Structure 1
Amino acid sequence: MKTWTCDVLVIGSGAGGIAAALRAAHDGSSVIVVEKDRYLGGTTAISGGWLWVPGNEHGVREGDTREEAETYLRHLAGNSYDATAVGAFLDTVPEAMRFFTDEAGIAFHYPEKAPDYQMDAPGAKVSGRAVTVGATDARILGEDRLRMQPYLQSYTVFGYMPEVGPDIAQFLKANRDPAAFRHAARKITATWVQTLLYRRAHLRTNGNALMTRMVAAAREAGIRMWTSTAAEEILRGPDGVVTGARLSGAHAGEVRARLGVVIASGGFSGNPELRRRYFLHDPHGDDHTTPTLGHDGDAVRLTGPLGGHVDDRPHQPASWGPVTVFRGLRGQKRWFPHLRAFGLPGLIAVDRDGERFANESSSYHDFGVEMIRNDADREGTFGWIVADDTAMRRYGIGWAKPWPFPQTVFRRAGYLHSAPSVPELAAKIGVPAAALQRTVEDFNSGAACGEDPRFGRGSNWFHHFKGDMEHRPNPNLAPIEKGPFHAVKIEMGDLGTYAGLAVGPRNEVLDEDAQPVAGLYAVGTAAVSVFGGGYPGYGANIGPAMVFGYRVGRDLGARAGERVKRSQPPAAAVSGGSEDLAVRGRR
């Protein structure tokens, strides 16, 4: 059996794993990252690429305070609030962000407005906490350019992924603004040409841009990154200290890790057995679709023999995100996560009874909480997005793109359902016609005036941020009145689990007696969430993954330094050793 040796072994190549690898390598540790997928980047690479990082230097200059962040997180977590974990997170944010900017070369963008998801909660902020990344040229990856995880195809527009911010705003109005149309046409044309010539476009946006930057930094640091390589077993010595892992796939064999193993392999929302245990809305294990990549419960499987176990204290076991599951034109299974569309004018969401059940402009997570609650005593968790033709032609509904895209494509795929009238649409989707008609009429009476008396939709900055800021009198509200009418089915999905491996203050994996498993760490959605079941804002998964990944990498790097000092002979006996160490520290 082939054996490799390193200081730190990282399992998983998403934001948390690469963050840990980068920080450990910065202090001179040799690092190997193993990824079971054929591509690098994990779920982060198909995400929006945001980080929710209160206390970053930019936000502090805008007036954000530690006390406000703690107040806000305490409100969201309720009885699940973990003051120690929150404190560790907030303590580390400034240091971690400086490292990623100065050492990893990540070009963060601090939007003028990126509201927290619960703007009516104490301590919420309109801006300063949510951070995104600028578009990146993938050629900085060199020969690894094609090893980066591709976009989630259903999210692209003719292969181009609009960048969060002004870019996507231009795409949303490209069918009614000539300048916006030209902008979109340039982006799409460049994507086609580069894909034809180079197999994939050079410009990477959102989470793909973030991971392109991080993987490029890892390459520069000399970190070995192995794809198509799965961790099968965590190894430890006679003293119980973790010593590495047994691998299968492209690099079958064993890796001996002198300092420790970091598990960053994602959560368990792709594992039916674990969902049956922890997702109460999914009692049969199949009533759920996750768009995450590789979240198959590997962290639980790998650590179980060592006493690792799931900490299910968060009041929500996952960060929810409604999805639509459909078949592509060639019959392949596809899905679309609905992370924005509910907030646009002229759309509502109804349940199987034809009734609205939540504020459609709340966050996808909070909407998901209400969707689960609404269907708690019923078979299956699902609903429908309903829109009139004005909204459909202007905004589309998720994967069903607006005019001039032909609607027949989306109907043929079983994604979009259309009918001349509201009662006829109700009959098509199997909801009571009278109830749906009444729901639409009740909604229209307030929407015409820019009001939603029932749920308060469009009443704060976050709602407006999700809507059409050019629409008046309310960016989130317009009557549903022009036929034909359209509907898209939504089911429950997630963006990653909040329940995860129990970890200690240094993110060391804890056994069933709450004792650290020496040499074993977990970060990202492999570990229990710091937010206790709440979803504070854009990047609530990636922000903590990178911050705690940095923290673990820093601690491991410090251990490397201590080991070198202990092994160093007395100064008088050293001949050239200090020069060797200086070179190692710069690697």
Structure 2
Amino acid sequence: MNNRAAESWDREVDVIVMGAGAAGMTAAIVSKNEGLVPLVLEKTDQVGGTTAWSVGMMWFVDSTPMQAAGFKDSPDKARQYFAATVGDTVDRSLQEAYISQGRVALDYMLRHSELEVAAVEYPDYSPELAGGMFGRAHAPIEFDARKLGPNFRNLRAPLPAFAPFGGMMLDLVDLLHFLSFTRSARSFVHVSKRLARYAVDRVNHHRGTRLVGGNALAGRLYKTMLDQKIDVWLQASATRLIMDDGKVIGAEVTRDGRKIRVRARRGIVIATGGYPGNQAMRREHSRQPTVELGLGLPSNVGEGLRLGESVGGRMDHNARDTGYYVPMSLFPDKAGNMQPWGHFMLDRPKPGFIAVGKDGNRFTNEAASYHAFTLGMFDAGAIPAYLIADAATVKKYGIGVILPGSLSLRRHEKAGYLFSGRTLGELASRIGVDPKGLARSVERNNRFAKTGVDEDFGKGSSAYNRYKGDPTHGPNPCLGPIEKGSFYAVKLMPGDFGTSRGLVTGPHGEVLDDHGRPIRGLYACGNDMNSPVGGHYIGAGITLGPALTFGYLAAMALARNDATEKPVNPELASPAEPNVKLA
């Protein structure tokens, strides 16, 4: 490194981490715990990334929490499951790193951070395949945001759908209690406690302080960064990577309207969350027709990927599927803006629902995972598709944004979200599907509901299907009749909640060049690295599990570097300003 370059640094650290989602915060926490000085660059004015909008599940193999909960797993069992679901679409070393090191990364974070998780009795998405099982999904334990103090405002709020009443977070248990609080004394007490806590919160805070799901995960990681005094620059982003003798040694950063040159003595970790907000990259990399709806952060536009490519990195093109898909409907919010709603599990798998295309025919298993269901839409050309149910089913289970027992269906019809017809023919006319096809699909569904066997697509035939169905309904918890009008429909379009095509990396997250050689000093993790499951969605938490795993592995690799470089200017090596910029 020449003297001119050495004299031009405005700040020096060991590691620059680009992005403050789960992957980036993990890399920063591990770096600091291993004795390095990290600097986190977050382009927005809040930490948490898309993690804060998610349900927070993480997928790990044979972890300590799994063992404590009594789940019997092993790396060999997981390898069988990978072989059955992922196959050879992903380099074996990447698969092996995730299978064997994921539990190591989780243990490390449980020891050295505020992270707390529970292994839950939730199925892999293909539990009937070799190696599939229940228990690999890990949920973050709820978190009290009051522990963040004034920095709570710097944590990204959840999606409004996960926090009704202006910011009261609900998990699945809460939701079930809310749906039955007028019929159950136990539920009434549970709901009353939640509402009382929220009422107190709103006196002193901008939203509820009881965090669950992805917000709890992000909050716990952020609390650790605050405790460790990790420097975070909000509204700061890297615009250029600086190289010397083939090694990434720093970055040019835009912050507060000025450019700053930051030296990274060990290297840089790219964790900017992929490209869900970049329609041009979606058209370049995604399935056709391009998926335009998403629950990913709009500010994640792929700048980390482009920076990686600018110094010799390359995008992975092995996987056919480049996003984590979910069917979505669009509903108008109070301001009249159309918002996406992900149909994850609350309606499709339940008895009494079918999905049809324009020809009125069913095209896939409605109780399949959201990713598999959306692939079914693509494969059948069922874009848009329509979710169909009768009045009794909608009243019992709700549909889309409409909760069970809702008394205000008419306003959803007026808003153009819900379609209805007194007869199936009338409904078919209003949604533009073939009435004969719809009548035939309903007739077959009703016959299957009686026998309990879906002869067309096997709805309710797997443990995953049945888990998502209604256990009180028989003979099949996922099959129910569509019999009496009025009949209802909601329009479905393909969407995603993140992209899975990223920079090609090695098993420690090291970014590789066209010849498969590591670019010294450059790592990627989260949705900026090539998916260790090749874009397949094999279980709940298959984005955040790798995010923590490879954030940890990248940081440990940087910590192990036998780097003997000293600060060029010792005065720049320690921060002279607060840990974060307060909102």
Output the TM-score relative to the length of structure 1. 0.90
2:457 is matched with 455
Q: 1:270 to 1:189 in 2, by over 3 A?
A: same
1:57 is matched with 64
Does residue 217 (structure 1) correspond to residue 219 (structure 2)? The answer is: no
Cα deviations by residue, 1:290-334 (Å, 9 ceiling, x for unpaired) = 110133122222122212221021232222111112332322231
1:78 is matched with 87
> 2:435 and 2:15 mapped to 1: Cα distance?
61
How far the C-alpha of 1:394 sits from its partner, in A, is: 1.9
Question: Would the aligned equivalents of 1:136 and 1:209 in 2 still touch at CA under 8 Å?
Answer: yes
> 2:442 and 2:185 mapped to 1: Cα distance?
33
Cα deviations by residue, 1:423-457 (Å, 9 ceiling, x for unpaired) = 11111111112211221121011113433221111
Cα deviations by residue, 1:267-287 (Å, 9 ceiling, x for unpaired) = 1233222222222323xx5x5
| Partner amino acid, structure 2, of 1:210 | L
> 1:324 and 1:95 mapped to 2: Cα distance?
39
SS of 1:417's equivalent in the other structure is strand
| Partner amino acid, structure 2, of 1:292 | G
Cα deviations by residue, 1:313-361 (Å, 9 ceiling, x for unpaired) = 1232222111112332322231111111311222111112111111111
Q: 1:436 aligns with which of 428, 435, 438?
A: 438
Q: 1:225 to 1:411 in 2, by over 3 A?
A: farther
> 1:439 and 1:328 mapped to 2: Cα distance?
33
Q: 1:337 aligns with which of 339, 342, 346?
A: 342
SS of 1:491's equivalent in the other structure is strand
Q: 1:406 to 1:75 in 2, by over 3 A?
A: same
2:380 is matched with 374
Q: 1:342 to 1:189 in 2, by over 3 A?
A: farther
2:388 is matched with 386
SS of 2:294's equivalent in the other structure is coil
Question: Would the aligned equivalents of 1:77 and 1:315 in 2 still touch at CA under 8 Å?
Answer: no
> 1:215 and 1:339 mapped to 2: Cα distance?
27
Question: Would the aligned equivalents of 1:154 and 1:334 in 2 still touch at CA under 8 Å?
Answer: no
Cα deviations by residue, 1:477-511 (Å, 9 ceiling, x for unpaired) = 22122322211111111122222111123211122
> 1:567 and 1:11 mapped to 2: Cα distance?
22
How far the C-alpha of 1:145 sits from its partner, in A, is: 0.5
Cα deviations by residue, 1:135-158 (Å, 9 ceiling, x for unpaired) = 110012122111111111133343
Does residue 427 (structure 1) correspond to residue 423 (structure 2)? The answer is: no
SS of 1:321's equivalent in the other structure is strand
Note the residue ranges of structure 2 that are not aligned, 5 or more in a row: 1-7, 568-583
| Partner amino acid, structure 2, of 1:507 | G
> 2:471 and 2:448 mapped to 1: Cα distance?
19
SS of 2:348's equivalent in the other structure is helix
Question: Would the aligned equivalents of 2:106 and 2:548 in 1 still touch at CA under 8 Å?
Answer: no
> 2:510 and 2:200 mapped to 1: Cα distance?
47
SS of 1:342's equivalent in the other structure is coil
Does residue 546 (structure 1) correspond to residue 548 (structure 2)? The answer is: yes
Does residue 291 (structure 1) correspond to residue 291 (structure 2)? The answer is: no
SS of 1:434's equivalent in the other structure is helix
> 1:25 and 1:227 mapped to 2: Cα distance?
19
| Partner amino acid, structure 2, of 1:291 | L
> 1:470 and 1:183 mapped to 2: Cα distance?
22
Q: 1:264 aligns with which of 263, 271, 276?
A: 271
Note the residue ranges of structure 1 that are not aligned, 5 or more in a row: 569-587
Question: Would the aligned equivalents of 1:309 and 1:511 in 2 still touch at CA under 8 Å?
Answer: yes
1:493 is matched with 495
1:197 is matched with 204
> 1:150 and 1:213 mapped to 2: Cα distance?
14
> 2:356 and 2:307 mapped to 1: Cα distance?
41
> 1:396 and 1:505 mapped to 2: Cα distance?
44
Q: 2:309 aligns with which of 304, 315, 326?
A: 304
> 1:178 and 1:419 mapped to 2: Cα distance?
37
How far the C-alpha of 1:413 sits from its partner, in A, is: 3.3
SS of 2:376's equivalent in the other structure is helix
How far the C-alpha of 1:31 sits from its partner, in A, is: 1.1
How far the C-alpha of 1:192 sits from its partner, in A, is: 4.4
SS of 1:314's equivalent in the other structure is coil
1:116 is matched with 124
Cα deviations by residue, 1:204-226 (Å, 9 ceiling, x for unpaired) = 01000011001101111111122
SS of 2:95's equivalent in the other structure is helix
How far the C-alpha of 1:182 sits from its partner, in A, is: 4.3
Select between 17-26 and 486-495 the one with higher mean Cα deviation: 486-495
Does residue 315 (structure 1) correspond to residue 320 (structure 2)? The answer is: yes
SS of 1:448's equivalent in the other structure is helix
> 1:185 and 1:388 mapped to 2: Cα distance?
32
> 1:181 and 1:488 mapped to 2: Cα distance?
31
| Partner amino acid, structure 1, of 2:204 | L
Question: Would the aligned equivalents of 1:299 and 1:501 in 2 still touch at CA under 8 Å?
Answer: no
> 2:489 and 2:182 mapped to 1: Cα distance?
21
Q: 2:526 aligns with which of 524, 528, 532?
A: 524
| Partner amino acid, structure 2, of 1:262 | V
Question: Would the aligned equivalents of 1:523 and 1:548 in 2 still touch at CA under 8 Å?
Answer: yes
Tell me the number of residue pairs that the alignment of Structure 1 and Structure 2 aligns. 554
How far the C-alpha of 1:373 sits from its partner, in A, is: 0.8
Cα deviations by residue, 1:541-568 (Å, 9 ceiling, x for unpaired) = 0001101101111121223xx446x879
> 1:92 and 1:258 mapped to 2: Cα distance?
26
| Partner amino acid, structure 2, of 1:361 | A
Q: 1:451 to 1:188 in 2, by over 3 A?
A: farther
> 1:398 and 1:551 mapped to 2: Cα distance?
39
| Partner amino acid, structure 1, of 2:171 | E
Cα deviations by residue, 1:172-192 (Å, 9 ceiling, x for unpaired) = 544654533443354245334
> 1:482 and 1:190 mapped to 2: Cα distance?
42
Q: 1:307 to 1:436 in 2, by over 3 A?
A: same
> 1:385 and 1:44 mapped to 2: Cα distance?
28
Q: 2:364 aligns with which of 358, 364, 374?
A: 358
Q: 1:168 to 1:401 in 2, by over 3 A?
A: closer
| Partner amino acid, structure 2, of 1:80 | T
Question: Would the aligned equivalents of 2:147 and 2:223 in 1 still touch at CA under 8 Å?
Answer: yes
> 2:209 and 2:472 mapped to 1: Cα distance?
32
Q: 1:265 to 1:567 in 2, by over 3 A?
A: closer
1:578 is matched with none
Q: 1:442 to 1:227 in 2, by over 3 A?
A: same
Q: 1:116 to 1:200 in 2, by over 3 A?
A: same
| Partner amino acid, structure 2, of 1:434 | K
> 1:555 and 1:220 mapped to 2: Cα distance?
23
Select between 523-532 and 78-87 the one with higher mean Cα deviation: 78-87
| Partner amino acid, structure 1, of 2:152 | R
> 1:226 and 1:242 mapped to 2: Cα distance?
20
1:241 is matched with 247
SS of 2:208's equivalent in the other structure is coil
Select between 455-464 and 143-152 the one with higher mean Cα deviation: 455-464
1:469 is matched with 471
Select between 549-558 and 17-26 the one with higher mean Cα deviation: 549-558
SS of 2:87's equivalent in the other structure is helix
Select between 190-199 and 514-523 the one with higher mean Cα deviation: 190-199
Q: 2:105 aligns with which of 76, 81, 96?
A: 96
| Partner amino acid, structure 2, of 1:73 | F
How far the C-alpha of 1:163 sits from its partner, in A, is: 1.5
SS of 1:357's equivalent in the other structure is coil
Question: Would the aligned equivalents of 2:449 and 2:481 in 1 still touch at CA under 8 Å?
Answer: yes
| Partner amino acid, structure 2, of 1:290 | G
1:326 is matched with 331
